[in-house]
Amino acid sequence: MPQKNVPFSISERKLLLRVFDIVFTIGGLVLVSFLFNFHYFKFENNTVYSYMFILSAYVLLFGQIFEMYNLEVANDKYLILRSTILTGFSTTLFYVFTPVVTPILPENRLQILYLFLAITVSIYIWRYAYIQFIFKPIFFNRIIILGSDNNEIIKLINLINTKAPNNNIIGYISPKEILNQPAKFLDANKVMLKEFVLNSQISEVVVDNFHKSEFTNQFTPQLISLFKRGNKITSSEKFIESISKKVPETHLNESFYNHLNFSTSQQNRVYLIFHRVFDIIGSIIGIVFLIGLLPFVFLGNLIWNKGALFYYQERVGKGGKLFKIVKLRTMVENAEKSGAVWAQKDDERITKFGKFLRRTRLDEVPQFINILKGDMSIIGPRPERTEFVAELSENYPFYTIRNVIKPGLTGWAQVEYPYASTKEEQYTKLRYDLYYIKERNLLLDFKIIIKTISTVLFYRGT
């Protein structure tokens, strides 16, 4: 008998983590109330349900910010310890100072420590158990790859191992065996696809170059039969997009418009109005923050930058319209007297204080002025310089599609990909931007905001 397995998809794993974070948090509070003199919560009172709801919301919010639901972090017992402590501390701090909808701040401050320990210890016990018992290959998504091009199969296997290790590659079917490849080779002349899928408890078949070669076409009857049984059959392009969260490179060709349909949010007036209201409110808060920040930045600029505080530069906005972006200066003055040059990761033109501003993203704060004016949005593709847009558009014809929406202070490409200093890296970021344009919605916008906060808090700016 084949070994049964219960694979969890990525979304199921994240849901599992969230649900049990809440269950263990509440369970920890109940346990602490029995073991210690913890009376911050009166569990016999009806208001405890609303109190618990607010606490759960804080746990989920800060858990998202501190990457508790990033599976790479969740699978590492040291990283998850860091994230659990930060989540527990932030949840406790915000919870005890939230008025009306949370219990009154206790006179005995030891109650606050009990609250912190109940949240932190209980969640970490659950997360440690998750790593030890649930994060096991038997619960991974079991897949096989079917394709005629060994080079494409190698790329796909490498991408899965890097970006989606929760997938267990049981084997691959191709015309020839790939040398030095640990994944099992399944000889097309000997293997019965349907039988193998059923006996090996395969949860997904990934097909490369479907309908493009006689090799894959010969498996069509078996694939149809599996599909009728409810087995998951996925094209390699769709699979790559789902795990990489960017438009596959193979889509950026003459069939581009067959694959890219703009998000319905583009025509959704409610979404667009909400987006603009969010931009206005966010930009006002950002400008207030900028005003409070300026004295400290002015002092730092005076000592380490020695020159103008602000920097203005022409950028390309929505529909190709040009506007002046405003930033805090991070480079030496006259850094581009010889012409526009791509900024490098460790660019010598960036001052010591400028590196700090970039790493913390504080150099971008003045752009809230551009957002309030309507030149930019909080979320969208980063606005690029006219010289670079012309150069990139010549090499990559689809580059200007980025300009179909307003450029943003932060965006999907910014939180998913490090700083781009070459045309090739800009091309990769383009695929992230196109993915955002294609999938644009409130949930994705929320993810970008949370990931941006995480980037700033963990000092991952460029």
Name the least confident of 1-15, 99-113, 176-190, 239-253. Answer: 1-15
Averaged pLDDT, 385-412: 91
| pLDDT at residue 270 tops 80 | yes
DSSP code string of 183-233: SPEEETTT--HHHHHHHTT--EEEESSTTSSHHHHTTHHHHHHHHHTT-EE
Per DSSP bridges, beta strands 204-207 and 141-146 are parallel
Measured distance CA(59)–CA(95) in Å, rounded: 10
Model pTM score: 0.84
Do 61 and 69 contact (CB within 8 A), yes or no? no
At residue 3 the predicted structure's pLDDT band, cuts being 50, 70 and 90, is very low
3-state secondary structure of 169: strand
List of E strands, 147-226 = 167-174, 185-187, 204-207
Name the least confident of 2-6, 14-18, 55-59. Answer: 2-6
| pLDDT at residue 1 tops 50 | no
Predicted local distance difference test score (pLDDT) of residue 339: 66
Averaged pLDDT, 218-228: 89
pLDDT higher at 56 or 2: 56
CA distances from 441 to 266, 383, 437 (A): 9, 20, 9
| pLDDT at residue 100 tops 80 | yes
Domain ranges of the chain: 10-134, 140-244, 264-457
pLDDT higher at 252 or 344: 252
Percent pLDDT > 70 in the chain is: 92
Predicted local distance difference test score (pLDDT) of residue 137: 65
Per-residue pLDDT of 43-75, as tens digits, reads: 777 788 899 999 999 999 999 999 999 988 998
Predicted local distance difference test score (pLDDT) of residue 362: 93
Predicted local distance difference test score (pLDDT) of residue 338: 65
Predicted local distance difference test score (pLDDT) of residue 265: 67
Which backbone phi and psi does 207 adopt, to 5 degrees? -110, 125
pLDDT higher at 173 or 42: 173
Do 371 and 343 contact (CB within 8 A), yes or no? no
Measured distance CA(377)–CA(323) in Å, rounded: 13
Helix (H) or strand (E) holding 143: strand 141-146
Averaged pLDDT, 302-316: 91
CA 168 centroid distance within chain: 22
Bridge partners of 171, per DSSP, are 144
Q: What is the mean pLDDT of the chain?
A: 88
Predicted local distance difference test score (pLDDT) of residue 432: 95
pLDDT higher at 56 or 251: 56
Percent pLDDT > 90 in the chain is: 50
| pLDDT at residue 458 tops 60 | yes
| pLDDT at residue 2 tops 50 | no
Averaged pLDDT, 441-462: 86
| pLDDT at residue 231 tops 70 | yes
Averaged pLDDT, 122-129: 96
- Of these ranges, 36-45, 251-260, 335-344, 394-403, the one predicted with the greatest mean pLDDT is 394-403
140-244 is classed CATH 3.40.50.720:
yes
Measured distance CA(280)–CA(283) in Å, rounded: 5
Averaged pLDDT, 289-304: 93
